[in-house]
A and B are shown apart, each in its own frame.
Chain A
Amino acid sequence: MAPRIPRFAVGLGVCLWGVAAPLAAQTGDPDALVIVTGQQATMPVPTFMEGPQNLTANFDVADQLFLRLAELPPDLVTTDERRFVPVLAKSWSRRDSLTLVFDLDPRARWHDGQPVLARDVVFTFERARNAEIAPKLAGLLRHVVGVTAEGDRRVVFQFDRVYAEQFYDATYNVAPLPSHLVPRDATVANPPRGFVGAPVGDGPFRWVRSLPGQFVELAANPDFFLGKPKVDRLFFRTAADPEARVNLLLSGEADATDNIPAPPLANIERVSAAPGLRAVPLASPVLGYLLFNQRDRADRSKPHPILSDVNVRRAIALALDRRRMVESVFGRYAAVPYGPVSQLLWIRNGSPSAAGRDTVQARRLLAKAGWLGRNDEGILTRAGEPLVLTLGYPLTSEARKQMALQVQEQLRGVGIQIEVQRLDGPVWAQRRSRGDFDIDFSSATQDPTPSGLTQSWSCTGGTNVAGYCDPGVDSLLDWAIASPSGPAAGKVWQEVIRRIESDQPAVFLYAPAFVYAVSRRFGKAPLRPESSWLRVREWSR
């Protein structure tokens, strides 16, 4: 006879489960909102969200805690200051074309009861403009040459040049911090642990607690000067695995999520089919593209032996059936972009459609570039050398994996051999930044401003790793950025996009939408593409 497990232990286990199982059902809170995200906010404090802390999760929480001076208009046009929405700033005016004046709302208070003053804005922008403290922000604010206080509630911004996005630069990138609580020189690598562990803001929600790896809890700020939020308790719950996020939604343990990852599309279908949930597609800032290296991998001073030829680059673009690829991977939740423009950028309005597949023209262009022969495997050759290129991407991206295989197959059809390299994220990034690639499967997350395009597509752009350089594009970019009025700038931006498309420094493959899931118990649930949960303060049942 074998040893026995005591019966009382079995009974105890069953009883515990019996009591515990229905517990979850008894703890619902109708005035709470649980948002499930892939990452947990670790430092949701403006000017500290640099480098490794530049996470969507941090921005999501910071948006609830800290107020910007003004918010973008619904159509995300960054050049018309009259249409921005007042938030911390009650009003604004211009002294001249280089000077903006903001008057703060006198009702604004920090969560510790102190008034929000002009000196707080000045203090925060001093930090943000200091490259030693906030290197990325300092780059974004390079045209802001001075921020000064005039009295307690007036802030004056001075710019070094006339351009259409002065107002955007003054309002979008930085939300003010309480100067009485944050050390002046603290950095992301050496943060004030007390403050970043329990931030004090001026937003619609205040900090309650964070359980590492589990959730961040915020509570409605009853004294919020723009009106107390309808949601009493707000949770950002963490589940890194997409399946776990979907399970939390479907089991009713979470109310919303910001990006149901596709592929696979099955998760979106599961959410769409759930009676208690709505799937809401919304413009995303993501842009996926095949970036052609135009410099030699081994010697950056020389042009790339194959890809420096515009005919080869255009041939590759024409050989790909981008629409079919996008549809097979993203379903109806992505578009083929025209130029380096995600769905978030307002300059995409009025752009023509991207060119379709034309393998005859592709073969003609390759022949024009000297690729006339063929080897035993059907690969094109020039002076005996086969047309072989590498295509690298990070192994964490399922979309890029699926598309890379399709690119490989379709290009083989016109005689181009692609060697797919699936790389560990840091290895991929290192190779990319060194220019050690032929074709890089890039994915960019764009800010709402088109000015960011200079970083990747101008000759001196800081992230122009492919060595693309067209002085004509540079001139157009300068012109577009310097254009003082919105409509005029819009026309020049269209010209920039057309010129880049014509140069074909990359094949712009996909601009996806993010599919949000929202519980139907929230009748009013406005979402914002530039910052998912910015308007949670307006959510109601």
Chain B
Amino acid sequence: MTRWLLLRCLQAAVTLLLVAILLFCLMRLAPGDPLSRVSGEQQLTPGALAHLREQYGLDQPIARQLAIWLAGVVRGDLGASIEYGRPVTSLIAERLRASLLLGGTALLINFTLGLWLGAVQAVRRGTPVDRWLTAASLAGYATPSFWLGLVLAALVAVRWRLLPAAGMQNPLLASDAGPWVRGLDIADHLALPAATLVIVSIASTMRYQRRAMLEVLPLPYIVAARAKGLAESVVVRRHAWRNALFPVLSLAGLWLPILATGSVFVESVFAWPGLGSLAAGAVGTRDYPLLMGTALLVSSLIVLGGLLTDVAYGVLDPRIRWA
């Protein structure tokens, strides 16, 4: 297993290097750069623009810019954002926390609720409960997240004033407020964006789980468990449900990058200071260092997600051999 793991890590590192070089080149090939946008908006003179290009090192040949960036990456320095004027690593670290909080909460609720409801649907297949849950989850799935977010904000925050409309914390909170109050304040702000993400995404988890359960329930070992006289709840929970988790595991692997980048639309509608909106903004402004930093992070998470899923499969299913 150690040899397999080392090989997979090496493969992952090479993949990441190639992705980084490719992204760097593609970004430079795309029309426009961070300062062409600025020159358009501010109507800078060519002389002023040339001075700025020099200050940011954008007048250097692309190969040299790439070499400088890669050398920085090796040292753990992703450069400074042109838009924010701060180190990219600090920006990502700050925003990653918010994204992980939102994505993690949504993922936790999605899987807890989704796996349970999917199992309920399978056990009560063809009943009104199954049909209603299918309809409700698919309606959520078909709803655009930004629209749902706007509706929830307009009703829950603006009309009923039950929860905050946007942001991650109340700026007016006293500076000496304790961690409990701060935690509740963040939970307060988290509720609507997390609910939006869960509503639009839970259908896939439910559908996966329902289908997996339906495949497992008629299998001989389930029949044998029932024949032994086990209670139906034990049969479903201990025997069927656990074995039906495998397909959903691959879904969890795919969720890892989404966990970090969140949903750009939901972050935008609720002014949630996450990584998704930061990355989307960097695309629009051609903030090369920030764009490369976030792209590298997402690539790493995709590679890591695949790796973790493979490992999890191996650990949970003894039939899978390390090769």
Contacts and interface: CB of A to CB of B under 8 A. Distances in A.
Interface string A225-262: 00000000101011111011001101111000000000
B292 to A, nearest CB: 16
A467 B32 CA distance: 21
B85 A196 contact: yes
A214 B185 CA distance: 14
Given A427-B31, A430-B31, A244 B270 contact: yes
Contacts of B55: 51, 187-190
A237 B52 CA distance: 29
A193 B32 contact: no
A139 B115 CA distance: 63
Contacts of B104: none
A28 B161 CA distance: 14
Interface stretch (B33-41, B68-76, B249-257, B311-319): B33-41
Interface string B151-164: 00110011001111
A23 B188 contact: yes
Interface string B134-160: 000000000000000010011001100
A102 to B, nearest CB: 27
B45 A463 contact: yes
B158 A27 contact: no
A136 interface: yes
Which 5 pairs of residues, A with B, have the shortest CB-CB distance?
Answer: A426-B32, A429-B40, A213-B273, A462-B45, A135-B48
Contacts of B271: 238-241, 244, 248
A54 B44 CA distance: 11
Given A21-B163, A43-B85, A217 B158 contact: no
A52 interface: yes
Interface of A: 1-5, 16-17, 19-21, 23-25, 27-29, 32, 34, 42-43, 48, 50-54, 131-132, 135-136, 138-139, 187-191, 193, 196, 211-215, 217, 233, 235, 237-241, 243-244, 247-248, 250-253, 394, 396, 424-433, 444-445, 455-456, 462-463
A396 B162 CA distance: 33
Given A239-B271, A248-B165, 8 more contacts: A1-B233, A27-B170, A212-B91, A248-B167, A425-B40, A426-B36, A429-B36, A433-B36
22 contacts: A1-B233, A3-B237, A23-B170, A23-B181, A42-B84, A42-B86, A52-B83, A52-B85, A188-B85, A189-B52, A189-B80, A191-B85, A211-B169, A213-B168, A215-B167, A237-B167, A240-B271, A243-B150, A243-B153, A425-B285, A426-B32, A428-B40
Given A23-B181, A189-B55, A212-B95, A131 B47 contact: yes
Given A247-B154, A429-B36, A21 B56 contact: no
A247 B166 contact: yes
B236 A1 contact: yes
A29 B172 contact: yes
Contact of B47 (A19, A135, A238, A239): A135
Contact of A462 (B47, B56, B185, B188): B47
Interface stretch (B12-20, B116-124, B296-304): B116-124
Interface of B: 30-49, 51-52, 55-57, 80, 82-86, 91, 94-95, 98, 112-113, 115-116, 119-120, 122-124, 150, 153-154, 157-158, 161-174, 181, 184-185, 187-188, 191, 231-233, 236-237, 241, 268-271, 273-274, 277-278, 281, 284-287
A2 B119 contact: yes
A458 to B, nearest CB: 12
A136 B44 contact: yes
Tell me the interface secondary structure of chain A in the complex.
mixed
Contacts of A34: 171-172
Contacts of A213: 94-95, 98, 168, 273-274, 277-278
B182 to A, nearest CB: 10
Nearest to B234: A1
Contacts of A239: 166-167, 271
Given A188-B85, A213-B278, A253 B39 contact: no
A5 B113 contact: yes
A215 B40 contact: no
A237 B161 CA distance: 19
A334 B143 CA distance: 36
Contacts of B38: 51-52, 54, 429
A21 B188 contact: yes
A2 B85 contact: no
B166 to A, nearest CB: 4
B247 to A, nearest CB: 17
Nearest to A208: B175
A392 to B, nearest CB: 11
B189 to A, nearest CB: 9
A215 B33 CA distance: 28
B197 to A, nearest CB: 16
Contacts of B274: 213
A463 B43 contact: yes
B184 A16 contact: yes
A132 B57 CA distance: 13
Contacts of A250: 158, 165
A136 B168 CA distance: 36
B178 to A, nearest CB: 12
B269 A243 contact: yes
Contacts of B167: 214-215, 237, 239, 248, 253
A107 B89 CA distance: 42
Contacts of B164: 24, 251, 253
A251 B158 contact: yes
A24 B188 contact: yes
A271 to B, nearest CB: 12
